[in-house]
Structure 1
Amino acid sequence: MKVVVVGAGLGGLTLAQGLRRAGIDVVVYEREEEQGRPQGVSLHFDDRGTAALRACLPPPHVAMAEATMGGPREQRLLLSEVEGRLVVERSQPLDGTAGVRPGRQVHRPLLRAVLLTGLEDTVRFGAEFTRFEQRPDGTVRSWFADGSTDTADVLVGADGIGSAVRRQYLPHVRVVDTGKRTLMGATPLRAVAGTGLPELIGHSPSNAQAHGAMMAMAVLRFSQPPVVARKEWLPALHSRVVADAEDYMMWALPVTKEVLGSAESPATVWRRAQEVSAGFHPTLQMVVDHAWPHLTVALRGGLIPLMPAWPAAPVTVIGDAIHVAPGFGGNLAMQDAHRLCDELVQASRGQQSLRAAIGAYEDAMRRDSFPAPDVTKGTPRMVPTPGGSGGSNGAEVST
């Protein structure tokens, strides 16, 4: 069996790692260069992401990833200002209600670097997928912008909310722009030392409100310094992300597309974030003012409505290419990869047909990603969790 994966995000790379471990031939095509596109620095990592890591990656990779996560996140805090001081007004457990599960914060670029390790001969960067053709012999031929082609038994679209694979395969699926935008950035923890804010919130994701605006924040203190963890667990990890990583505070400001305006570059998005945060407590303004400008991004809110089931074929999609989950897209993409990998491995061993394998994955994905709406309560609203970058290619993120 051979599998072509389009997209080298968290889901595509997790799938590639799992298939490779099982001895299945896999190639990943990514239109961006190795550093990828700006997607925010943090991810709220819950049991779905952890299960996918442990099932699909070699043990040293898992150890490296888990050693560099933040501490346990078990509650959400609401901050308020009392006599000029920031205090915790109330807390809410992260117990799975309102869609939020307990977890740990992850440095997204570092996790991606771990996922890429060992796939150097598997991932083709700068390769833009353009179209595919299902052939009479049951295989799928893919074309790329440079004129090259590749043929495989399975084509997987892991290319985010703007998926080129989905556009051809499921042309009836539409992406709805919600009009929501999130300004997200990160600030070195040393820049806010002495303010008392990191000690106040600990590992907990936290929200503060001022004049009708909201700011989300969370601290990531690496459980083990990445440089030390690499030496102990994964010496083959050569990314410069390891040396550059330091403890930080992530922050996010939900806005509308009208407020964001034409800001596009990291520097202009950072300046817009400074403007939006001007009404907050001085310590929170300091967090934004001392951020790394090059890590500041504006993420677009998108939604893929529920669609009818489609017949299984040797083409499928995972992650934000087919469902968008505010705040948890990375976990769901990795869960998709885990499930699809398991099904494809069974097919490769003759335990089920290829179409049955893909159909079983898609049934599970639809069941978990598009729960039946509660018509008595109207449209459900997922409570956001800071530190959770929702996904790739403009997916809505948590705030």
Structure 2
Amino acid sequence: MHQHRVIIAGAGLGGLTLAHGLRARGFDVAVYERDPHPDARSQGYRVQLDEPGLAGLERCLPEHLFRLGLATAASPPARVSVRDRHLGTLADRPTAPGPDPAGGTARPYRPYRSYAFNRPTLRQILLSGLADTVRYGAELLSWEREQDGTVTARFADGRSASADLLVGADGVGSVVRRQLLPHARVEDAGLRLIYGRIPLDALDAPDAPDAPDAPDAPDTGVGGAGGAEAAALPPWVFDSIFTVVTGGPGSPHVGFGPVRFARPPGAAGPAHTPPVPLTPVGDYVACLVGAPADHPAMPSFEALRGLDGPALRELAGRLVGDDWHPDVHRLLDRWETDSLFPLRISTASPVPPWEPGPVTLLGDAIHAMSPVLAMGANTAIRDAAELTRTLAGAAASGAPLVDGVRDYELRMREYAFSVVAASRRTGRQRVGQS
């Protein structure tokens, strides 16, 4: 029986999830990542996963890694709050469960609820077991279809690789997409963010007690450390998985997402069976300040990228005016300046159906979206689960692999671009997205 070979361009959350899913189903998988090593650049901080992402992880990851992911995540109250600049409540809703990514009945490890993951920790978990699969320092330059139906990828260092399928999981600036769908448009959403964190405690103490390594261990979302630091913050910060404080459409906004680990990653990883080395990280609140790109106080993105941490915090203070609630200013005063970096938000336009072949796309490479609904990572991981299912089904039936690609692309365009549209609508209503 032919072992199908798949090349994945990009070692982000979606690409790594797909690698696990396909390897578990007998595919020969190679992931090519342009970064020279896994810690070459900042991977950001908090990422929220709801049912689409959690179900996708469960379907693709080895069970022990899924367990470790949940054990090292935080589960603040599963509500999203929107407040005005005086902290009056504008909206307060539960995080709604999404549909099962494989189109059938979900088989939850336990009932899915929203979790806040530390993105670098989750990525370390996803890299576990893939040491022989991920190739670093491999910047994709181009690809071409061969006469025998395979595809060859070519890299900047002179390497090339051939496979039955190339999956572009290479983000907003996707090289794979530019060649496959040159007409696909990714637009500037007209939003600029300053993103960072408010630390709540020191790193894990080496003698911190270990909790039971089980997915149903008591999980309050409140870590054991950092009590004094957390107590110094306004209680409303911890009442929701994410809180948006908005000045209104076209005005700046501020977002807060608490990450208080059920188990500190630095202790949980080595204690796991089998052990998984995880970098120690303390509890924190992810914090962002955003504004429309045309706000009078917002410099060009090129200038924004040139600002250091103190300058970014000073800019954020000018964006959030004196008439905002004092709690907001007190929180920004606690921002860790070394953690700050700017972001330009992009959003994709819907793409008409294209002829399926030995190349496809997932995640931001095809459906970049603004972060207002926290669905970017969820949808990328959902893509990985859906593509795993359709490719495995085609391989098991002896059908051409392109049949699985066709089924995946049909479903992905339907669910993903509806989320892109919803994110755009909500972004226009809440935070002045264009």
Does the CA contact (< 8 Å) of 1:207 and 1:216 recur in 2? yes
Task: Write the letter of the residue equivalent to 2:264.
Answer: P
Contact 1:73 1:94 in 2 (8 A): no
- How many Å separate the matches in 1 of 2:84 and 2:394? 55
Amino acid at match of 2:365: A
How much has 1:263 moved relative to structure 2? Answer: 1.8
CA distance change for structure 1 residues 351 and 288 in 2, over 3 Å: closer, same or farther?
A: farther
2:406 to 351, 359, 376: 359
Match status 1:4 vs 2:7: yes
Of 107, 120, 135, the match for 2:131:
120
Residue 272, structure 1, aligned to residue 309, structure 2: no
1:326 aligns with 2:363: no
2:29 equivalent in structure 1: 26
The residue number in structure 2 matching 1:182 is 193
Query: Which secondary structure does the structure 1 equivalent of 2:349 belong to?
Result: coil
Shift in Å, 1:370: 2.0
2:285 aligned to which of 249, 252, 260 = 249
8 Å CA contact 2:167–2:361 kept in 1: the answer is: yes
Equivalent residue runs for 1:47-62 within 5 Å = 47-62=51-66
Q: How far apart, in 2, do the equivalents of 1:147 and 1:81 lie?
A: 54
Provide structure 1 residue ranges, at least 5 long, that are not aligned to the other structure.
Answer: 387-395
Match of residue 239, structure 2, among 194, 202, 217: 202
- Bigger drift between 156-165 and 222-231 goes to 222-231
* 1:74 and 1:204 in contact (8 A); partners too: yes
Q: Does 1:307 align with 2:351?
A: yes
Q: Does 1:46 align with 2:47?
A: no
**2:307 counterpart of 1:263:** no
Q: Which one of 155, 159, 164 corresponds to residue 166 of structure 2?
A: 155
Q: Which residue of the partner structure matches residue 64 of structure 1?
A: 68
| 1:324, distance to aligned residue in structure 2 (A) | 1.7
- Secondary structure of 1:382's match? helix
Letter aligned with residue 188 of structure 1: P
CA RMSD of aligned residues (A): 2.9
8 Å Cα contact 1:63-1:233 kept in structure 2: no
1:181–1:260 contact (8 Å) kept in structure 2: no
Are 2:262 and 1:215 equivalent residues in the alignment?
A: no
Report deviation, 1:210. Answer: 4.9
Report the Cα offset of residue 65 of structure 1.
Answer: 0.6
Match of 2:341 in 1: 297
Q: Which runs of 5+ in 2 are unaligned?
A: 99-111, 202-227
Identify the residue that residue 93 of structure 2 maps to in structure 1. Answer: 92
SS in 2 for 1:381: helix
Equivalent of 1:132, from 135, 143, 148? 143
Question: Do the aligned partners of residues 53 and 285 (structure 1) sit closer, same or farther apart at CA in structure 2, a change above 3 Å counting?
Answer: same
Aligned to 1:393: none
Structure 1 position 227 matched with structure 2 position 263: no
Length-normalised TM-score, structure 2: 0.79
Q: CA deviation at 1:254?
A: 1.5
1:163-205 superposed Cα distances (whole Å, 9 cap, x missing partner): 0001011111121112211211111024853334146533431
SS at match of 1:55: helix
Please tell me the residue identity of whatever aligns with 2:352.
P
Residue 64 of structure 1 deviates from its aligned partner by 0.9
How far did 1:102 drift?
6.0
Q: TM-score, normalised by structure 1?
A: 0.85
Number of matched pairs: 375
Provide the rounded CA distance (Å) in 1 between the counterparts of 2:338 and 2:85.
Answer: 30
Distance 1:6 1:379 in 2: 26
